[in-house]
Each structure stands twice: as structure tokens, then as C-alpha cells.
Amino acid sequence: MATAVLRLWPDALLDIGPPTEEGFYYDFELKHRFTPDDFPKIEEEMRKITKENQVFEKSIQTRAEALAYFESKGQTFKVQRMGDIPEGEPISFFKNGEFVDLCAGPHVMRTGNVKPGGIKILKVASAYFRGNEKNPQLQRLYGTAFKNKEELDNWLLMQEEARKRDHRKIGTEMGLFAMDPEYVGPGLPLWLPKGTVLVEELERLAKETEFQAGYVRVKTPHLAKEKMYKTSGHLPYYAESMFPPMEMLEEDERKKRDALMERRADLIQLAEGMGKAIAPNPSGYTEEQVRHDIQKLETEITLLGGRYYLKAMNCPHHHRIFAAEPRSYRDLPLRLAEYGTCYRYEQSGELFGVMRVRSMNMNDAHIYCTAEQFAEEFRAVNEMYLKYFKIFGLDRYQMRFSTHDPARLGQKFVNEPELWKKTEDMVRQVLIESGINYVEVANEAAFYGPKIDVQVWSAIGREFTIATNQVDFAVPARFGLTYRDRDNTEKTPLCIHRAPLGTHERFIGFLIEHYAGNFPLWLAPEQVRVLTLNDEAPLVEYAKSITAELRAQFVRVEGDWSANPVKAKIANAETSKVHTMLVVGQRDLEAGVVSVRLHGKGNVGAKPRGEAIADLLTSIRERRA
């Protein structure tokens, strides 16, 4: 592709072009802006190149030769990329026809190995050079190539099928949720009645599971004073992702606070100057005194209060619940659970259907425990994850173990090298013992401790972090949380943050794509619909009595005894993805049976009414797939 682009636009600057899961891309810097109208032209040129059947020739050059080559071509990005190759490593080049590029290895031996019909340019987008938003943006051309046209067409067809599973599309079609950016706001989904069913079924699952695992439930407000997030350490590091605070102060109080803050800023500057001890300090005002006064001002400012933040996480509230009563080692582990609603001001371009939103319901819980209890608790949490994955038939997942980076202690990560090592060892131990498939990634931990993120892939191939399990050895101490131990001393507990079902928003978005909207019976918004062959009174009576019986058993059932032809009624029920249809006609009425039809599977035959109902109830109770 790069060869073709260079032929068409010789002034294009090249960055790099690696393969991806669906093909490949190449980044270019070019005055001309690519549009889809250019795609056929580029494809045409690529086809010519495949016909030329150029051989990919490898050559090794010295660093100086390579640099000189790219500099002579004015390829500044390539020159920068050269810096990424470690000193002493051979610099390999590949040449095909007139095109020469830095490359670790060719993906095919000759351009002719790709048949002209198998090539397609997919889309153009932009990307930051080296993925850093401070760097210039390049134009990224995505393309794909298959051995021949048939394989390409097959792949395109699959892409088309995948698009049909998009949770935004199905969510609208099925009436699960709605977005109202004009009145409610972007990223603030409204759960419609059918989507709320999913929300509540998941909550019920979580509540049952957590109850059995010894959790207790709590409820906390959606906002808190500024002091909360200063203490937790989320401010100012997290402020970017939080909704701006609500200012509660009256005009004069605000002036007072601003004055105090100004004074504080001055003192901080003074203290810094003193630290460097540039000038003599005739006033006799010592650095220690200044620090003390800053502290006093801090307290005064926070006591004025006046600022409330919508919570972006539940942990601080739970910490205050821990602090609300004196705790003994006998109370531990204390597992506080809540489906807490959090608000995060995600950047506008990051919003994505219901998968990435600004208001979210988290399947949250915080486990306060001793260091001795930690491994057992952590293992129990992991097991809960696996239990959920089994229920949802989720087999493509990966645990991502995120650890700290010792070089960034005190900046990105709290400066507790020993605790980091200790907790990371504990987590690693649990992972190895449980035989869980995981990868370890450095420098990705939370500021307060290592974490495990669970990556899942939806049927469409979208990858998401759906759940998280984090260790926190820092924030409980910042809140001064303690329990009285056996030896009558106060100790600080460890805290495990966990959210196996993530947020309703992302989890449901994921489930929609996972099931393509065809939910298992226990989750289905409309579980059963009773359909009559016609609208004659005795038949309608029969259908109504079945409906009433199911409804009394809390089955989500609707009835359709309209005068429409049964074919039409079935078509309606099928398009609404009703899980089970009970079709009744004169025959069924006389025999006391119902004809069972399953969504997507068709008619499965008649069953005695009582048996059909019992089967439904069992499947729901057992949450069968």
C-alpha cells in the first residue's frame, strides 16, 4: 500500500505500517487529505504492484547508512523511528521494486502472493504519531488483503453480520435504552422498561451471589464534599475525569475562601523559596511555621466546604462507612457491596453507545481485610468472576495483571516500595495457584495498588475491560481507617476493590453483542408471549388464564389475542426477540396443551400446559443459558 501511495503522491512522508487483526494500516503525513474517493485509485495501483510480482529483498545496513538514506529522502518520521532500534541491533531493510522500507520481516515473499481481487482499502482515520496526543496527527489508511476475492468477500460479509450485532442498533430496535443528548446530555443513557429488566436481573444475580459470599449491602449518596476526594487522593489527579464541582457558597463566603486560597498560594511559594534557601530570612519566620500555617489554612478552607463533587467512584464513601463505627479484627473481612451510580466526565470523543458513558452503575464492593486474610479473599473474588463467566457462556477472556513501575514511585504510584512488592507477590501467587490465564503488564496499576482487569471480546471482536479487581494498601491509611487487633493495637486494613460485573452500562452493552439480543430466558425482557389463533372468546379466555398463571409466578409474559393472522403475530414476536411463544388454538384448548415455539428455533411441539409452565420456571430459576 505504501508503495502505491508513494507512486500516486511522491511527497508523502511515511511513518510505519504494521499488520492488525483485520489487515494492516500505514501512517502517512501528506498535504492531500485522503477521502474514500481515493480508495479505488490506490487499490488500482496496488493491484498493478501485485501483478508486477515484486520480490521482497532483505538487506542489512548500518545505522549511519540507514539514517543517511531516510534523511536524503526527507523522511523525518523514519529518522525518528530509527531511534527506537536499540544500538547494536542489525537494521534490516526490505525492498520491493522501487520501494525500500525499514522492516523487521516481510509478511509475504512476493507481491504476487496477494491476488488483485483480494485487496481492499477499508477506511481512513487519523492517529497521533507514536500514539501521543502531543504529537502531530498522521493520516492512517486501513486496508486488508486476502489470497483472493472470495475470501475477501466472505470477510466483508462477516463484517456486515457483525455490524448487525452492534449494541447501539439492537438497543434501539429492542427498546432497551435511549440517548437524549439534547435534554439529558451526551453519555447519559436512559434505561427504557425493557433495558431496565436487564439491569434488575443483573442486580438480582449480583445480590444473590454476594449474599452467599458473605457481603453486606450499603447505600451511599451520589455526591460528596471536596474534602472527600482530596483525602482519597483522587483530586487533583482524577479531576479531569470528574464533573466540575457544584459551588454551594454564597457570594461573600466565596470571597472569603478565595482570599484564604490566595494566602495559601503565597505561603506555598514562600515555603518553596525557603526550601531552596536562596535568600536570608530576616523575619525569623521558619519553614516549619510556614508549613504549619499552610496546614491551618487548608483546614479552614475545607471547613468552609462549599464544593460538592458527583462521585466518580464509590470507594471513598465506603471508606467512610468503615470509619462510621469502631472496627475490631472480629469484624474482618468486612465486605461492603453497592450498585453505586458514578459519574465520570469522559472526553466527548470517548463516548461510545452504552459501553462508554458518563453516568454508570457499578457492581462495586470493597473488602476490608487483614494481610493474612488477603489471599483467601482475593481468590474468592476471582472465583466469583469465573462463576459469572460460566453463567454468561463467556469463554474468550483474559486477566490483565497490572503492576507498578518502580521508576514512577511517588508520582504515578504511591511511594511504598515494600507494600507494592508484597501485594503484587500475593496477587501473582493467587493467579498462579488458580491456574488462571493472565498477562502481566507493568506501569498500569492504580495509584493505590496493583490490579487485575478482565478483558473480554464481544462477538464483533471489540475488546473491553469489563471487570476489575484491585488491591488498595494506600487509601485506607489516608482516611485513617483502623481496626483494633487481637493485641489491642490499631491497625490499617487492606482493601480490595472489585467489580466482576463492571458497570451495568458496559456489561449490558457487551451482553447485547454477545447474545445478538437473543438473551437467555432468565434475562429476556419479554420472556413469554401467548398467541391465539383467532380472537374467539373461549380461546382468548384460555390464553388469558395461562398469562395470568405465569404472571403470578413473576414471569414476564404478554398476550396477543388480536384478530391478526397467527403468521403475523409470530413474525411480530420473532422480530421483538420474545424468548418463548406459546401458540394456542382450538386443538390446544381442547387437549389442555400449549404449542411451544422458541425464538430463532421455531416450533418445538405441544406440551401439557402445566409441564410447559414448570419448564419455564425451572429454566428461569437456574439461569440456564
Partner RNA sequence: GCCGGUGUAGCUCAGUGGUAGAGCAACGGUUUCGUAAACCGUAGGUCGUCGGUUCAAUCCCGACCACCGGCUCCA
Q: Binders of RNA among 74-133, rule CB under 7 A?
A: 123-128, 131-133
Where would I find the beta strands (DSSP E) of 380-462? 397-403, 438-442, 451-457
Should residue 137 be labelled a site residue for RNA when binding is judged by CB under 7 A? yes
Should residue 35 be labelled a site residue for RNA when binding is judged by CB under 7 A? yes
Alpha-helical (H) ranges within 213-250 are 226-232
Should residue 159 be labelled a site residue for RNA when binding is judged by CB under 7 A? no
Should residue 574 be labelled a site residue for RNA when binding is judged by CB under 7 A? yes
Shortest Cβ 173–RNA spacing (Å): 7
Where would I find the beta strands (DSSP E) of 62-150? 91-96, 99-102, 119-128, 137-145
List 8, 351, 371, 386, residue binding RNA (CB under 7 A):
351
Q: Which stretch binds RNA (CB under 7 A): 200-208, 419-427, 432-440, 527-535?
A: 527-535
| C-beta of 96 vs 363, nearer to RNA | 363
Should residue 353 be labelled a site residue for RNA when binding is judged by CB under 7 A? yes
Shortest Cβ 71–RNA spacing (Å): 26
Should residue 349 be labelled a site residue for RNA when binding is judged by CB under 7 A? yes
Should residue 570 be labelled a site residue for RNA when binding is judged by CB under 7 A? yes
| C-beta of 198 vs 267, nearer to RNA | 198
List 119, 523, 578, 583, residue binding RNA (CB under 7 A):
583
Shortest Cβ 140–RNA spacing (Å): 5
Distance of CA 411 to the CA centre of its chain: 25
Q: b vs e for 582-607, b when ≥16 Cβ sit within 10 Å of the residue's Cβ?
A: bbbbeebbeeebbbbbebeeeeeebb
Give the residue carrying C-alpha cell 389475542: 561
List 274, 467, 474, 516, residue binding RNA (CB under 7 A):
467
Should residue 586 be labelled a site residue for RNA when binding is judged by CB under 7 A? yes
Secondary element (H or E) of residue 254: helix 251-276
List 187, 316, 340, 500, residue binding RNA (CB under 7 A):
187
- Looking at the DSSP bridge assignments, the partners of residue 59 are 93
List 113, 159, 370, 534, residue binding RNA (CB under 7 A):
534
* Residues sharing a CB contact under 8 Å with residue 69, sequence separation 6 or more, in sequence order: 61, 100
Cα distances from 195 to residues 174, 177, 395, 470, 541, in angstroms, run 9, 6, 24, 29, 30
Residues 596-625 that bind RNA (CB under 7 A): 597, 599-600, 602-603, 606
| C-beta of 294 vs 531, nearer to RNA | 531
Sheet of 99-102, strands arranged across: 57-61, 91-96, 99-102
Q: 251 with 338: CB under 8 angstroms?
A: no
Shortest Cβ 131–RNA spacing (Å): 3
Residues 441-460 that bind RNA (CB under 7 A): 446, 453
Peptide bond into 333 cis (omega under 30): yes
Rounded CA gap, 525 and 523, in Å?
6
Q: Which stretch binds RNA (CB under 7 A): 215-223, 272-280, 383-391, 566-574?
A: 566-574
Q: What is the DSSP letter of 244?
A: P
Shortest Cβ 137–RNA spacing (Å): 5
| C-beta of 181 vs 236, nearer to RNA | 181
Q: 486 with 184: CB under 8 angstroms?
A: no
Q: Which stretch binds RNA (CB under 7 A): 69-77, 255-263, 358-366, 369-377?
A: 358-366
| C-beta of 96 vs 547, nearer to RNA | 547
For the beta carbon of residue 478, count every other beta carbon within 10 angstroms: 17
Should residue 499 be labelled a site residue for RNA when binding is judged by CB under 7 A? yes
Q: 58 with 110: CB under 8 angstroms?
A: no
* Residues sharing a CB contact under 8 Å with residue 524, sequence separation 6 or more, in sequence order: 556, 577, 578, 579
Cα distances from 340 to residues 211, 219, 239, 313, 334, in angstroms, run 17, 8, 19, 8, 18
Write the secondary structure of 11-57 as one string of H (helix), E (strand) and C (coil). CCEECCCCEECCEEEEEEECCCCCCHHHHHHHHHHHHHHHHHCCECE
Q: Which stretch binds RNA (CB under 7 A): 51-59, 242-250, 382-390, 534-542?
A: 534-542
List 203, 346, 405, 549, residue binding RNA (CB under 7 A):
346
| C-beta of 3 vs 470, nearer to RNA | 470
List 182, 251, 418, 487, residue binding RNA (CB under 7 A):
182
| C-beta of 575 vs 618, nearer to RNA | 575
List 18, 19, 40, 181, residue binding RNA (CB under 7 A):
181
Of 5, 22, 27, 4, residue with least CA distance to 140: 27
Of 165, 166, 144, 164, residue with least CA distance to 155: 144
Residues 537-556 that bind RNA (CB under 7 A): none
Residues 278-317 that bind RNA (CB under 7 A): none
| C-beta of 239 vs 268, nearer to RNA | 239
Q: Total residues at the site for RNA (CB under 7 A)?
A: 82
For the beta carbon of residue 111, count every other beta carbon within 10 angstroms: 21
Three cell numbers written together for 118: 483480494
Shortest Cβ 204–RNA spacing (Å): 20
Q: Which stretch binds RNA (CB under 7 A): 110-118, 145-153, 180-188, 426-434?
A: 180-188
| C-beta of 66 vs 176, nearer to RNA | 176
Should residue 571 be labelled a site residue for RNA when binding is judged by CB under 7 A? yes
Of 619, 606, 594, residue with least CA distance to 531: 594
List 115, 335, 356, 529, residue binding RNA (CB under 7 A):
356
Of 167, 154, 173, residue with least CA distance to 515: 167
List 61, 92, 398, 564, residue binding RNA (CB under 7 A):
564
Should residue 411 be labelled a site residue for RNA when binding is judged by CB under 7 A? no
For the beta carbon of residue 144, count every other beta carbon within 10 angstroms: 20
Of 544, 524, 526, residue with least CA distance to 584: 544
| C-beta of 228 vs 362, nearer to RNA | 362
List 502, 517, 520, 525, residue binding RNA (CB under 7 A):
502
- Looking at the DSSP bridge assignments, the partners of residue 310 are 223
Helix (H, G, I), strand (E, B) or coil at 137: strand
Q: Which stretch binds RNA (CB under 7 A): 271-279, 380-388, 391-399, 529-537?
A: 529-537
List 442, 568, 614, 625, residue binding RNA (CB under 7 A):
568
Shortest Cβ 429–RNA spacing (Å): 23
Should residue 352 be labelled a site residue for RNA when binding is judged by CB under 7 A? yes
Three cell numbers written together for 402: 497490572
List 18, 74, 186, 236, residue binding RNA (CB under 7 A):
186
